[in-house]
Amino acid sequence: MGGLFVRLVHRLAAPMSQTVTAGLDCLRQKAGDIAWRLGPIGRAAGFYAGAWQRWLTSSDEYLEIPVPFPSATLALGAVLDETLLSVSRIIKKPLPFEDYGRIHGEVLEATDLYRRRGWLDNPLAYFDSPPLPQPIAEHSWLGGIAGVAFERFKFESGYEPDPEEPGRERWLAYEANRTVHAWILRHRRPRPWLVCIHGAGMGYPLPDLFAFQAAWLHKGLGVNLAFPVMPLHGPRRPGLLPGVGFPSDNLLDTVHAVAQAVWDTRRLVSWIRSQEDDVVGLAGLSLGGYTTALVSSVEASLACVIAGVPAVDFAELFERHAPLQFRGLPEFVEMTREARLAYRVISPLALSPRVPHERRFIFAGLADRLVHPHKQVRALWDHWQQPSIHWFEGSHVGFLWSGAVRSFIHDALSTSGLVGSEVS
């Protein structure tokens, strides 16, 4: 009955759609800067007003991305995302504007190198195949929210940027980043594996295991789990302060970080296969979704790939989340344009996935304020030839409370042969 009422209101509002659209567009344009300065509440309010505009003026036919009803839950999700963004900006202050001259120079140098090497035309050639690692196991115990035991593995990454790449010396100076850490949950008998790649600002056992619902996957579904810590995250950070290791204002650090994340993940997958020669799937959240999508394009024989709330375009993220005073400056616009070209060597949208179409899965939030549903998720979905996707009516972190997302993940694992068909 509620759904019928919503559709009825939607159709009654259609005749006034042009007037509403024009009015709201004008209001949103004038209020944009004001909302930004008002902080999380102001920005969430601007999103909520836009949600009403989209719902009132969009047809419910032939839509490939659903238009959610602007509920209180949608508004609360937007507030949560905007609050997380504000906290991250406080923790990670932008570099002084004068540093962007150096950064721009590195981007130009890298783009020239990538063009000369042929990597812009063939990004796959940018990624070397890593050797098999020899992990050192340290048994640990974690109780509390996650409620599971895990082993802590460490091994030397061995990744180094190309000798000609700009930023190489700076990257190699991050000593803690040279050691890969991974949380391992495995059964005594051989079981399928799921490698779980965390999001930005994570890389510690508690948030990683909680975000992926490790107790359910490991105990309930019987899957072995591996959680590699991405470069410049968790114990690999250069320093003690928490925060997002990358994407970085040092744009070439982001290139090196992604290349090393792919390298380290492939080494871990190789080690898993050397132990049991069993099926291995890959799942990632947000920044981990970026890495997951990229690894699926360079690593053969993955059983499945699940990209959750995935980012796939760093240049777009850089533009949208940049400090307000930098936007529109010619130097900033030019640097972003060059960065978009340099980032092609690490772009999931420039490579073809090697995982079969029926084993590619995506889930994303319709109220996501960190990763744009159209500019990020929709781009990956189209590039992957529109595989199975689940849109939930929530924010970037809303999947944590979504039973529908949990069912979607179970179906993905079941379809791919990692678990049985019954929900645990």
Does 366 have pLDDT greater than 60? yes
Q: Between 99-117 and 330-342, two packed helices, what is the crossing angle to 10 degrees?
A: 30
Greater confidence, 270 or 3? 270
Does 31 have pLDDT greater than 50? no
Q: What pTM, to 2 d.p., does this model score?
A: 0.83
Categorize the per-residue pLDDT at 86 as very low, low, confident or very high, splitting at 50, 70 and 90.
low
pLDDT in tens, 252-269: 999 999 999 999 999 999
Overall average pLDDT of the 202-216 stretch = 93
Greater confidence, 64 or 211? 211
Does 113 have pLDDT greater than 90? yes
> Do the Cβ atoms of 266 and 129 come closer than 8 Å?
yes
pLDDT of residue 70: 64
Report the C-alpha gap between 255 and 240 in whole angstroms.
Answer: 23
Per DSSP, what are the bridge partners of residue 225? 185, 194
Strands 280-285 and 193-197: parallel
Per DSSP, what are the bridge partners of residue 136? 154
Categorize the per-residue pLDDT at 300 as very low, low, confident or very high, splitting at 50, 70 and 90.
confident
For the ranges 274-283, 309-318, 332-341, the lowest mean pLDDT is seen at: 332-341
pLDDT of residue 149: 84
> Do the Cβ atoms of 156 and 382 come closer than 8 Å?
no
pLDDT of residue 316: 85
Overall average pLDDT of the 238-251 stretch = 72
Q: Which residues contact 153 (CB under 8 A, 6 or more apart)?
A: 135, 136, 137, 138, 180, 181, 182, 183, 184
pLDDT of residue 398: 85
Class of the domain covering 99-415:
alpha beta
Task: Give the residue extent of every domain in the chain.
Answer: 2-91, 99-415
Does 397 have pLDDT greater than 80? yes
Max avg pLDDT among 22-31, 47-56, 215-224, 388-397: 215-224
Overall average pLDDT of the 344-361 stretch = 96
pLDDT of residue 87: 60
